[in-house]
Chain A
Amino acid sequence: MAAEADKVWDVAIVGSGFAGALIANALGKGRKNVIVLEAGAGIPPNINAYMRRFYSAFAKVPESPYTPEIFGPNGLSDPSAVNAGRPTVLSLGPKGGFGDWTDPKQAYLIQKGPRPFGSTYDRVAGGTSHWLGTCLRFVPNDFKMKSHYGQLLDWPIEYKDLNSWYGEAEAELGVSGDADEQKFCGVEFPSGYTYPMRKIPNSMTDQYVDKSLNSNPLTEDETRFLGMGTPITRIPVRGVPAARNSEPYRNRRACAGNTNCIPICPIQAKYDPTITLNDARNTGFVTIAERTVASEIVVGENGLVSEIRFIRYRTDTGQTTERGSVRARVYVIAANAIETPRLLLMSKNGGRTARGVANRSDMVGRNLMDHPYYVVWGLSPEQIYPYRGPLITSGIGDLCDGPFRHERAAFRVDIGNEGWNFVVGGDPNVTTLDFVNGLNRSGLNPRPDSLLGNEALFGKALADRLNEKFTRQFRCGFLIEQTPDADNRVTLSDFKDGLGLPRPQISYNLSDYTRRGFIAAHRMKDLLFKKMRLTEFTRVDPDDPTRFEEEIDGKPVNMNYIGAGHIMGTCRMGGDPKQSVVDKFQRSHDHKNLYLVGSSTFPTGATANPTLTIAALSLRTAKHILDSDFRR
């Protein structure tokens, strides 16, 4: 691309996930010449190759349809040989075993602990094809934790600043929802607002949860532990707004309930950023450079970013094919909350920005957050027919805000429609194997005093048994708000990737406030399972690196967590340049032509999935760039 060397673009964007794609499209529509540097492979003409990889995959993990290859000839691919690597959930295993989370030969992230960071990401279009589609708004108090509850910190913006941008984002992504149903915990909509599409209907599982919880009023004794301030007698089960078509929308089909939003929707009824990227290219103003890894942000003597250097490769583990740089008037880093700080920290400018670009505050990389996800499961007394519909259609959101936030972290409850698919190591395989071969990995085929299973069946007895078990599987999860802690941090490792660039090093832990949220979630699980008359099967393996013990009601309880895929907080937004990295428009305090976008700028993580807020902030930033950076 010789032309790249000479050209001065209006805007150069690093990363083509939600934030990068939405900003590229908005700027392209504004007739700005935009180049997007994408570290991963480009957008394929269709998803057939992804589907084939997914169907063939031995481990159908979120990353399974996408490149680069997860497996090499001897197990997991060695990240030191991969040009644009990525973490995988398979490298969160116990120490010394397969996928050892601390082994740099297996894990892309160099995890220093003390606990594993559980979330992963992908490369193509930010890997965001493998998201669930959930499009919840934050609730107003999520932006005001310090002033309202004396905990965490406030955002420099409020819900009312984002209200109309949430609407813009809902239109762009194509969200199905019911505005009346979503008015809880202070969430408001502009007068007469409707979502672009009607809501996705509740699953049979959702209906059973609602009936079990709310057929009779809950008592004050039962719900006191929630600390909601005023006694509650009802816990609503509400539909979850999702960027998943409930009717044809923008040339995409309605959801057919493939129960596969993650890793991939086979019919693209769920929005993903490749859709916006194609729109962006169709403006005629946006160019996407694939397999092009930004390696350094160059800052001139005037304090402005002058260029971004890149390294280009052709195959996932092949040699570098080109080194170059792009120049632009405005630069946007939209990598994600691990890769964005990594790039900033790598950019030392020969020592002039020794701590990294945009890092005078020393806050770049700090306050890494996730929604540590506490997952529980059981068997229902009646058939609730999981494995049908989108992965999640409803949840419990009303418990995510209240006076309890003075004391402990909030949580939101997801109700799974996929049975025990991921909780027992891959159902339907695990349970089927149990009843065919007389094993008991699922826990559903126990034999007293034996690790073996009780039954090994053939014929109709087998089909009957599998129907009886599968149709009653239930699982739910608690997304717990995590405190931003300065020591939960992305730094640079001495271990390199295939391009010779330092891989991200992660330090991660759970604070006491966050863990008190787990305790409340555990009590909520007890209430829910009691009302649902479930037989619980939740188990925490002794060697699970995320396992921890809490004393609850005088008894030790083992808990664990998985990553929610919600990587947040490493380039905090704020008003004070000493305490934050970007301002309320996501512009770097240090470099006026540099924007950092995506959930890296979230000061706090709340309990809602971050995507809609990423999208709203991105559209707002795009408008700001058009209005302020290109004003005549």
Chain B
Amino acid sequence: MPGALDHQRGFTLETTDDEQADAVTRRTVLTGAAAATAAATVPAVLDTPARAHSVDPNSREHMVLFVLLSSALTGITAPKLAPGFRLEPRPTNPPTVPAPPVDLAKSVPGSDPVDIKREYLTWANEKYPSGLENLLQLVRKNLNAPNREQAIIEALQFGDDDKSKTASDLDAKYLARSIVLMWYLGAWYEPAELKALRKDPRPVPAFRVVSPKAYTQAWALRVAQAHPMGFSEMQFGYWTRPPNPRADFA
């Protein structure tokens, strides 16, 4: 089901038609830009830009897209990032050829009580609503691509001096990196600072721990078959034997 707010604005993001999706994106980005301009003239506490955009942390579809984006960029499977995550229709055995298109409306973004994905989606959406929308649109565009993860990565992996890319593409790349770092470290590095560090890598990068919960959910040391320091879910003596296989962690 599309989010209620989408209906109120008279459009939805659920389409899988590329052309139509692009049109929607352009339109909503423009809406956002106008809203941002308007917001500049009113107190920031009104938080107008985030509301003016179409990404809604309460929308199941948007959350599914965010988890798919995060999984592609982090290399960690979606059900690990968001326990209970499930795309519909489910794969059959033997697989159906050709694979049926993903049904976003029926897919499940996850059901874990920790629900760190909601904190991250909300965080990114409040800070960079239009950039996040572009990234989710990228996922939507590649939703049924034969190799969705690779397609998403390729769209974001280019040099800063690549003339074929727009400023918006460059912003999307650094926002994507910030989102990856958020999942891996539970910390927020500003995209602009990441970009600046690529010009001058000497300053010590600043970051902010998103929340105590985010710290405990960080993936960097889980991909190292360990745990965030100060948050072990293992038992006495585990350290004296090799860890379980990587697949058990990430």
Binding site for B on A (CB under 8 A): 51-52, 54-58, 60, 201-204, 207, 246-247, 254-260, 264, 266, 383, 385-390, 393, 417-419, 421, 425, 428-429, 431-433, 436-441, 451-453, 456, 458-464, 466-467, 470-471
Contact = CB atoms under 8 A, between A and B. Distances in A.
Contacts of B180: 436, 458, 462
Give the bracket for the number of chain B residues in contact with chain A. Answer: 35 or more
A389 B202 CA distance: 33
B98 interface: no
B135 interface: no
B236 A464 contact: no
B176 A458 contact: yes
A258 B230 contact: yes
B220 A259 contact: no
B75 A462 contact: yes
B240 A441 contact: no
Contact of A204 (B176, B215, B218, B242): B242
Interface stretch (B6-14, B59-67, B119-127, B206-214): B206-214
Interface in B212-236: 212-213, 215-216, 218, 220-221, 223-227, 229-232, 234-236
Given A58-B208, A417-B239, A439-B197, 10 more contacts: A201-B237, A428-B184, A428-B221, A429-B185, A429-B220, A432-B181, A453-B201, A459-B72, A466-B220, A467-B246
Nearest to B210: A56
Contact of A436 (B184, B201, B227, B237): B184
Nearest to A451: B201
A52 B243 contact: no
B73 interface: yes
Query: Secondary structure of the A side of the interface?
Result: loop
B135 to A, nearest CB: 12
Contact of B230 (A246, A266, A429, A459): A266
B239 A393 contact: yes
Contact of A467 (B176, B218, B223): B223
A552 B129 CA distance: 58
A482 to B, nearest CB: 29
Interface string B169-181: 0000000110011
Interface string B76-87: 100000000000
21 contacts: A51-B212, A52-B212, A54-B230, A55-B209, A55-B213, A259-B227, A266-B231, A385-B243, A386-B226, A387-B226, A387-B229, A390-B239, A433-B205, A451-B202, A452-B201, A456-B177, A458-B75, A458-B176, A460-B75, A462-B180, A470-B224
A452 B198 contact: yes
B226 A388 contact: yes
A256 B230 CA distance: 10
Contacts of B153: 458-459
Contacts of A388: 225-227, 234, 238-239, 243
Contact of B209 (A57, A385, A421): A57
Interface in B36-61: none
A470 B243 contact: no
Contacts of B223: 463, 466-467, 470
Contact of B236 (A52, A203, A256): A256
